[in-house]
């Protein structure tokens, strides 16, 4: 079975890494030929190829539509907190000629590249499509997540509706048995089932995976020694590609930590990512971006708890990685986070205005119930092995592919 994965996500983000892990796992299967096509620089390895938005002669009408929508995004949506992309991407049919026609297309995060009204129906004619959902953009018009209320201006909503109609018309040209969506979280499966664009198409629930042999518990004093952290500090970890992205919740995290410091003065934040601003008097260490999986596994293992205060999220890789390293997670009860974080089994959940309560509960649990805390670390690892190993995910994708054929 020949599968071609297509991705236009930057490789420093979670979508590309999660999708590429699917490709890597399938590449280990003797009965699957898996090819990964980058429409954005980043991924590398076995059967990975790159296509670029080179300057070539394009059909005039399509070129005008592409430029028109690009202008709308630049002028109307650049200032919004939720990412926004053009429904008329730069991808063309001739980009795929060197690779031949697969048995199955597997679309990953393909915003900016995918031309919905031309490329998507053509792909469905050639082979069935499996589309792994990494955010809400395929289910809506321009935005990738729900924007702030004040950002939903009449002018932006008008363009959002126009983009939804472009996508709806494109999918109307595709038979229902030629396209299936994959939702890594139950939350995004539900969004897909009721979405105005995707309603009526098949959607399967297949969580993300990772190499559980690589992401595994490691001695926590190694990373603490490197950073010069005293052994008696209670380390709370936080990771984000862009630390100041409001959706990732660092503002909520800092407020909660400040509220806890009088009672828990031994708290220390350990932060990885880019764009860190002023944290005031909050005790912290910042590593900068960590793209190396080995370093990340040491990072998670150095944390007493990993904190994921995302206000909107699908199934964050960071939480999977922390669990695989045996690190309990404190998270908001939003999006796909409840799929992974089971209270007092793999961590603690909080409503969006109660993060300090959940953190206080976690810290007291570690201090007063040490045996149970150690049991929780083992359960975190067991959960990752049972539900998020690449072997489990690969079997589900192969079964889905076979049913599409």
DSSP 143-191: BSSPPPGGG--HHHHHHHHHHHHHHHHHHHTS-GGGEEEEESSHHHHHH
Q: State residue 57's pLDDT score.
A: 62
Please, what are the domains in the chain?
Answer: 2-209+390-404 (3.40.50.2000), 220-387 (3.40.50.2000)
Q: How do residues 375-386 score in pLDDT, each as one tens digit? A: 999 999 999 999
Tokens of 169: 């018309």
Q: Is the pLDDT of residue 125 over 70?
A: yes
Q: State residue 184's pLDDT score.
A: 97
Q: In Å, how far are 270, 286, 348 from 330, measured between CA atoms?
A: 14, 19, 5
Q: How do residues 322-367 score in pLDDT, each as one tens digit? A: 999 999 999 999 999 999 999 989 999 999 889 999 999 999 999 9
Residue 66's pLDDT band, with cuts at 50, 70 and 90, is confident
Q: Is the pLDDT of residue 58 over 70?
A: no
Q: How do residues 236-281 score in pLDDT, each as one tens digit? A: 999 998 888 889 999 999 999 999 999 999 999 999 998 876 777 8
Q: Is the pLDDT of residue 60 over 80?
A: no
Q: Is the pLDDT of residue 185 over 60?
A: yes
pTM of the full structure:
0.94
Centroid of chain to Cα 13: 7
DSSP class of residue 80 equals S
Instruction: Provide DSSP, 341-403.
Output: --BTTTEEEE-TT-HHHHHHHHHHHHHH-HHHHHHHHHHHHHHHHHHSBHHHHHHHHHHHHHH
**What three-state secondary structure class fits 216?**
coil
Is residue 365 within 8 A of residue 257, CB to CB? The reply is: no
Measure the CA–CA gap between 77 and 150, rounded to whole angstroms. 13
DSSP H helical segments within 73-147, as ranges?
A: 119-126
**What three-state secondary structure class fits 29?**
coil
Burial (Cβ within 10 Å: 0-12, 13-18, ≥19) of residue 283: middle
**Distance in angstroms between the alpha carbons of the first and the last residue of the chain:** 10
Q: State residue 297's pLDDT score.
A: 93
Q: Is the pLDDT of residue 55 over 60?
A: no
Measure the CA–CA gap between 166 and 95, rounded to whole angstroms. 22
Q: How do residues 139-179 score in pLDDT, each as one tens digit? A: 999 999 999 899 999 999 999 999 999 999 999 999 999 99
DSSP H helical segments within 285-354, as ranges?
A: 293-301, 317-324, 337-340
Measure the CA–CA gap between 269 and 48, rounded to whole angstroms. 37
Name the average pLDDT for the chain. 92
Containing 221, the helix (H) or strand (E) segment is helix 220-227
Q: State residue 56's pLDDT score.
A: 60
Measure the CA–CA gap between 230 and 157, rounded to whole angstroms. 51
Is residue 21 within 8 A of residue 390, CB to CB? The reply is: yes
Q: State residue 260's pLDDT score.
A: 94
Q: In Å, how far are 131, 156, 262, 354 from 259, measured between CA atoms?
A: 43, 38, 7, 11
For the chain, the residue count is 405
């Amino acid at each position: 079975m020949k599968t071609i994965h297509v991705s236009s996500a930057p490789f420093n983000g979670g979508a590309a890494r999660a999708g590429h892990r699917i490709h890597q796992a399938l590449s280990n299967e003797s009965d699957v030929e898996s090819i990964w096509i980058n429409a954005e620089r980043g991924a590398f390895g076995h059967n990975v190829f790159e296509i670029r938005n080179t300057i070539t002669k394009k059909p005039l009408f399509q070129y005008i539509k592409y430029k028109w929508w690009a202008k709308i995004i630049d002028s109307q949506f650049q200032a919004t907190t939720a990412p926004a992309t053009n429904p008329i991407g730069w991808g063309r049919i001739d980009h795929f000629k060197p690779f031949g026609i697969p048995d199955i297309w597997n679309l990953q995060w393909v915003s900016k590249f995918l031309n919905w009204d031309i490329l998507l129906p053509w792909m469905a004619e050639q082979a069935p499509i499996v589309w792994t959902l990494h955010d809400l953009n395929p289910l809506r018009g321009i935005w990738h997540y729900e924007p702030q209320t004040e950002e939903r201006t009449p002018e932006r909503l008008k363009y959002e509706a126009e983009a939804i109609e472009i996508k709806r018309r494109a999918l109307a040209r595709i038979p229902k048995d030629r396209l299936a969506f994959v939702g890594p979280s139950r939350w995004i499966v539900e969004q897909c089932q009721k979405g105005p664009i995707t309603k009526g198409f098949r959607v399967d629930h297949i969580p993300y995976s990772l190499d559980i042999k690589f992401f595994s518990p490691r001695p926590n004093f190694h990373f603490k020694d490197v950073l010069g952290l005293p052994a008696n500090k209670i380390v709370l970890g936080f990771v984000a590609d862009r630390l100041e992205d409001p959706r990732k919740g660092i503002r909520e995290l800092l407020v909660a930590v400040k509220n806890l410091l009088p009672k828990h003065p031994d708290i220390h934040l350990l932060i990885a990512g880019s764009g860190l601003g002023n944290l005031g008097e909050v005790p912290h260490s910042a590593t900068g971006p960590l793209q190396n999986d080995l370093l990340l596994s040491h990072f998670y293992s150095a944390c007493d708890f990993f904190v994921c205060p995302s206000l909107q999220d699908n199934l964050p890789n960071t939480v999977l990685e922390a669990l695989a390293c045996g690190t309990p997670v404190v998270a908001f009860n939003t999006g796909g986070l409840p799929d992974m974080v089971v209270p007092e089994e793999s961590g603690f959940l909080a409503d969006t205005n109660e993060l300090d309560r959940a953190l206080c509960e976690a810290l007291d649990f570690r201090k007063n119930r040490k045996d149970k805390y150690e049991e929780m670390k083992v359960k975190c690892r067991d959960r990752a092995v049972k539900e998020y190993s690449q072997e489990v995910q690969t079997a589900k994708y192969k079964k889905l592919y076979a049913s599409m054929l």
